[in-house]
Structure 1
C-alpha cells in the first residue's frame, strides 16, 4: 500500500512535471523543473534506492538546473509579449492520458517496498547468492555496498565518472561566467 509520503511525493512529481511542460516563462519552468528533480530524488530515497536518489539530486536537481539557469542568463529575455491562448492537440493529450493510465494499471502488480523474497519475483538464485555470500566474498558488511562496489564495481565506477564529469562541466561553465 502506498503511504501518505509516497502519495504526496508522487502527486508533487506529477504536478511539477505538468507545470514544467505548461509554463511559458522559461525561468519559471527551469525552477519548477529543479523542484521536480528534487522531488524525484526524495522519492528514490523513500523507495530505498539512495544511490539513484543521490545521482538524481546531483545531476537532475543540481547540475541540470545550474546549466539551465546559466543558459537563460546568457540569453536575452523578450519583453512586451502578449499572452495568447494555446491550442491544445486533444488527440495527443488523450493518448498521453491513456498511456499514463496504462502504466498506472501495472502498479498494483508491484511487490510492496521492502517485501521479502517470497513477494518479489526478482529475487532468485543470483540475489540469494549475493545475500548469502556478500560478506565472505568481499568482507563488506552491507550487502548493497558489497554489490555496488565489488560485484558491480565497473558499473558503479562508470556512474561515479558521469557524476564527476557533470560536476566538472558545471564548474567549468561557472568559472567562465565569473571571469567573463
Structure 2
C-alpha cells in the first residue's frame, strides 16, 4: 500500500491553504506550529540578546508541548528540561558575565541567501507533508504492515518481560537510542555543576 493512497479521503483544502485535515493536524496543533515558527524567526532577528534568549525559551517550550501532543512525553520532558531550562540558564549566565554592546537597532539585518535556503526547505516540507497519513489513521502503513508492527505487538511481552509494549520498544528494541538520551541528560547535569561551580566534592 502506498502512503499516498491513505490520503484519498482527505478533506479538500481551501485554495492556497495547507490541507491540515489530510495529515490529521488540528487547529490547536496548527497554532502551536505557527507559534514555534514565529518564535524561531524572532529569535534570529532580535538584536537584543536578552530578548532573544527569552523568546528562545518560549520556542523550546512550544516544541515540548508539541511533543506532548504527539504522545511523546519523554521527548517533551527532555526538551523542556534541556531546551527551555538548562540552555536558557546557561545563556542568561553568559550575558550576565559578559558585556553586551550598546545598539539602538532592534533587529539584525536580514541574510537573504539564508532566507532563501530556509524558504526552499519549508517549501519542500509543505509539498511532501500531505503525502503522509493522518495521525491515528487505521489504514496507515505502520498499522497495516503486520510484518513489522505485528511482530513487536506479538513478541514484545515475551521477549522483554515488560508489561507495556511502548516500554519494551524504548528499553529493549530501542535500547541504544534511549541510552543515548540518558547520556545527554546526564551530560547536561554535569555541565551545569561545572558551569555554576557550586558543588564541592570531597574525598
TM over 0.5, shorter chain: yes
Please report how far the alpha carbon of residue 160 of structure 1 lies from its aligned counterpart in structure 2 after TM superposition.
0.5
- Which SS does the other structure have where 2:197 is aligned? helix
- Which SS does the other structure have where 2:63 is aligned? helix
Provide the alpha-carbon RMSD of the alignment: 2.3
Output the TM-score relative to the length of structure 1. 0.85
Q: Figure out how many residues of one structure are paired with residues of the other and give that number.
A: 175
Write out per-residue CA displacement over residues 118-138 of structure 1, whole angstroms, 9 at most, x where no aligned residue. 313585523321111111222
Structure 2 counterparts to residues 16-165 of structure 1, below 5 A: 16-79=39-102, 81-83=103-105, 87-116=109-138, 118-121=139-142, 123=145, 125-165=147-187
Give the whole-Å Cα distance in 2 for the aligned partners of 1:85 and 1:167. Answer: 33
Please list every run of 5 or more consecutive structure 1 residues that lacks an aligned counterpart in the other structure.
Answer: none
Please report how far the alpha carbon of residue 24 of structure 1 lies from its aligned counterpart in structure 2 after TM superposition.
0.3
Output the TM-score relative to the length of structure 2. 0.76
Give the direction of change, closer, same or farther, for the CA distance of 1:131–1:69 in structure 2 (3 Å limit).
same
In the alignment, is the contact (CA less than 8 A) between 2:45 and 2:109 conserved in 1?
A: no
Higher RCO structure (Cα 8 Å, ≥6 apart):
2
Please list every run of 5 or more consecutive structure 2 residues that lacks an aligned counterpart in the other structure.
Answer: 1-20
In the alignment, is the contact (CA less than 8 A) between 1:66 and 1:170 conserved in 2?
A: no
Give the whole-Å Cα distance in 2 for the aligned partners of 1:35 and 1:101. Answer: 25
